Amino acid sequence: MTEARAETCMAADVRGRSTTTYPPAFAGRVKGRLKRPLGDLFGIASFGVNLTTLEPGAHSSVKHRHTVQDEFVYILSGELILAHEGGETRMTDGMCAGFPHGGTAHHLINRSTSPATYLEVGDRQPGDAADYPDDDLVAVRFNGAWRFTRKDGTPY
């Protein structure tokens, strides 16, 4: 039997990434987004947990919906706008939202003058894809990486 142990860390000290896999035509929308992949640090493979900070003007993503993945966000600090197909909702500290796969397309936008931080949680089931209803963009998850094309299937 293996010895059980618990690992901990300071979430804000986890190395963040500001890169994106979006095609260049869309990458500018997430400029100012810093994701700290907390779940990866502990070897969690069936779902992802990110501590994400959006600088003023940054978007969390291009507005999208997943075919398989469910998502959850919890606002830790600051003010964000949840833009979705039904309109917009202001979100502040302590508020949360969930997005079942196939549901409403969504993304977060920081329209304030200060950074905002939130936790995002999503499962990592195989066969996921994402639809971007406002843009000529489709994403398919293949072998652990996102592949982006136009809606007619042509690559970017």
* pLDDT one-digit tens code per residue, 129-146: 999 999 999 999 988 899
Q: Is the pTM of this model over 0.85?
A: yes
Average pLDDT rounded to a whole number, residues 109-120: 98
Are the C-beta atoms of residues 110 and 57 closer than 8 Å to each other?
yes
CA distances from 40 to 44, 48, 65, 145 (A): 6, 7, 23, 15
Are the C-beta atoms of residues 116 and 75 closer than 8 Å to each other?
yes
Average pLDDT rounded to a whole number, residues 115-125: 96
Interval 54-81: pLDDT, tens: 999 999 999 999 999 999 999 999 999 9
Cα dihedral: 143, 144, 149, 155 (round 10): -60
Interval 9-39: pLDDT, tens: 999 999 999 999 999 999 999 999 999 999 9
